[in-house]
Structure 1
Amino acid sequence: MENERLTIKSWAEEDRPREKLVLKGKTALSEAELIAILIGSGNKKQTAVELSQHILNQCSNDLANLARLSLKDLQKFKGIGEAKAITIVAALEIGRRRKESEPAKKAKIVSSGAAFDLLRGDLMDLNHEEFWLILLKQNNEVIKKEMLSRGGVSGTVVDAKIIFKRALEETASGIILAHNHPSGNLKPSKEDIHLTKRLKDAGRTLDITVLDHLIITNRGFFSFADESML
């Protein structure tokens, strides 16, 4: 009959919610279409999408209002049984938890002191030497910090290939080097000075800037950048 309502199965494939998600991606779907995928089917008078549109309309098209509905509230809509109501509630709860778990805005390193503050908890009070790396974006926002090597009381081995491999993997624009001196001596050794120069030269070739090298002890820190030794 000419006035017979079309079911979702009779829609063009690119307009069906599931197929549309596959063909065009999740951002192409409306909120009603996303909910329709959750509930799977509608009722005798409405497709899943139409039922989802009706539910959203009753919530002023606000997902926050929809999230406030209880299982019993959702089951008042014809075609929404307990299982579908549970699915909607669970999906909205996952969304809420994801928002809560989003990482806080990452710190920016604007000074040697900021870099020291980021690493002091990792490198102070150690009785052995460790070498750490801070990876930075072009705007000096921290991508991550990580330990590269652990040694003994008097030193640790640092592999330049590993340093720049990690920087390239994270698409870092700049790096800050850091290691501790368990002895408490803040003065850089000849090896520290040579290593810093070698890494700075290597970074220049790869367009990765070595911004600083910190020596950290329980008494404070030494910055190659602050001392104009870079």
Structure 2
Amino acid sequence: MTVDKLLMMKELPETERPREKLLAKGTQNLSNAELLAILLRTGKQNMPVSRLAEQILSKYELKGLASITPQELSKTAGVGLAKAVSVVAGIELGRRVCHQEPGERPVIKSPQDAANLVMSELRYQAKEHFMALLLSTKNHVIARVIVSVGSLSASIVHPRELFREAISYSAAAVILIHNHPSGDPTPSQEDILLTRQLVEAGNLLHISVLDHVIIGDGKYVSFKEKGII
């Protein structure tokens, strides 16, 4: 850390510096910018790390940081590739903790259960991710698999890819899940057509497609609840 950066940090009372504040008051008392500042560690010339963190959040917001790449973040002045990697790794670790499954396999009793299980993972993805929850005969989640990753507005799924995974895990049923990067989970005609094709393929293999849940930004649509399947 340069002398200038040290001086800028010392302008803050010690108890208000992000690291010292975290130790004294706990993580819950830090702002988003303060938490990001800890990951960044240092600022840039004539700009303290807290200001740099605020600048990054103003540009990308939390939603943008959730799907940013190290290469993209490193283009920000004062954020080299090493800092960018630290930030992205910290965000990914938090995401994994958020949707970590408990020791006992979760049971899907409703579309809300399915949505809750993947919401934090999918709601901010910049591309469509098509996922399947593979279930036992009692609707315990055996596994969740990413079947395909599409473009900004579409994912391409072939029945063969989906049911290969289901068969390999000896799944009795599946729940289809994919996200809409726009944040609006309203199903398109293509979504409905694809779902019906997958339901028919599942019937032939005696693997039930119980639902298709589309994830938006904090909300979802269930084809079962809507009466589509």
Measured against the shorter chain, the TM-score band is 0.5 to 0.7
Task: Give, as a single letter, the amino acid of the residue that structure 1 aligns with 2:214.
Answer: I
> What is the distance in 1 between the residues matched to 2:208 and 2:214?
18
Q: Which residue of 2 aligns with 1:184?
A: 183
> What is the distance in 1 between the residues matched to 2:225 and 2:153?
24
* Residue aligned with 2:133, SS: strand
Instruction: Please report how far the alpha carbon of residue 185 of structure 1 lies from its aligned counterpart in structure 2 after TM superposition.
Output: 2.1
Task: Give, as a single letter, the amino acid of the residue that structure 2 aligns with 1:163.
Answer: L
Q: Which residue of 2 aligns with 1:160?
A: 159
> What is the distance in 1 between the residues matched to 2:169 and 2:113?
21
Structure 1's consecutive aligned runs of 4 or more residues displaced over 4 angstroms after TM superposition are none
Kept after mapping to 1: 8 A contact 2:213/2:223? yes
Task: Give, as a single letter, the amino acid of the residue that structure 2 aligns with 1:160.
Answer: P
* Residue aligned with 1:214, SS: strand
> Would you say 1:122 and 2:106 are equivalent positions?
no
Kept after mapping to 1: 8 A contact 2:119/2:218? no
* Residue aligned with 2:215, SS: strand
Kept after mapping to 1: 8 A contact 2:129/2:179? yes
Q: Which residue of 1 aligns with 2:220?
A: 221
Deviations 1:98-139 (A, max 9, x none): xxxxx7110100000000011112211111111101000000
* Residue aligned with 2:225, SS: coil
Alignment coverage as a number of residue pairs: 128
> What is the distance in 1 between the residues matched to 2:178 and 2:103?
27
Q: What does 1:91-106 correspond to in 2, within 5 Å?
A: 104-106=103-105
> What is the distance in 1 between the residues matched to 2:145 and 2:201?
20
> What is the distance in 1 between the residues matched to 2:174 and 2:191?
16
Instruction: Please report how far the alpha carbon of residue 141 of structure 1 lies from its aligned counterpart in structure 2 after TM superposition.
Output: 0.5
Instruction: Please report how far the alpha carbon of residue 219 of structure 1 lies from its aligned counterpart in structure 2 after TM superposition.
Output: 3.5
Instruction: Please report how far the alpha carbon of residue 146 of structure 1 lies from its aligned counterpart in structure 2 after TM superposition.
Output: 1.3
Q: Which runs of 5+ in 1 are unaligned?
A: 1-102
Kept after mapping to 1: 8 A contact 2:184/2:217? no
* Residue aligned with 1:164, SS: helix
Kept after mapping to 1: 8 A contact 2:184/2:216? yes
Higher radius of gyration, 1 or 2: 1
> What is the distance in 2 between the residues matched to 1:120 and 1:219?
7
> What is the distance in 1 between the residues matched to 2:206 and 2:177?
20
Normalising by structure 2, report the TM-score: 0.54
> Would you say 1:147 and 2:146 are equivalent positions?
yes
> What is the distance in 2 between the residues matched to 1:174 and 1:151?
24
Deviations 1:12-60 (A, max 9, x none): xxxxxxxxxxxxxxxxxxxxxxxxxxxxxxxxxxxxxxxxxxxxxxxxx
> What is the distance in 2 between the residues matched to 1:162 and 1:152?
18
Q: Which runs of 5+ in 2 are unaligned?
A: 1-101
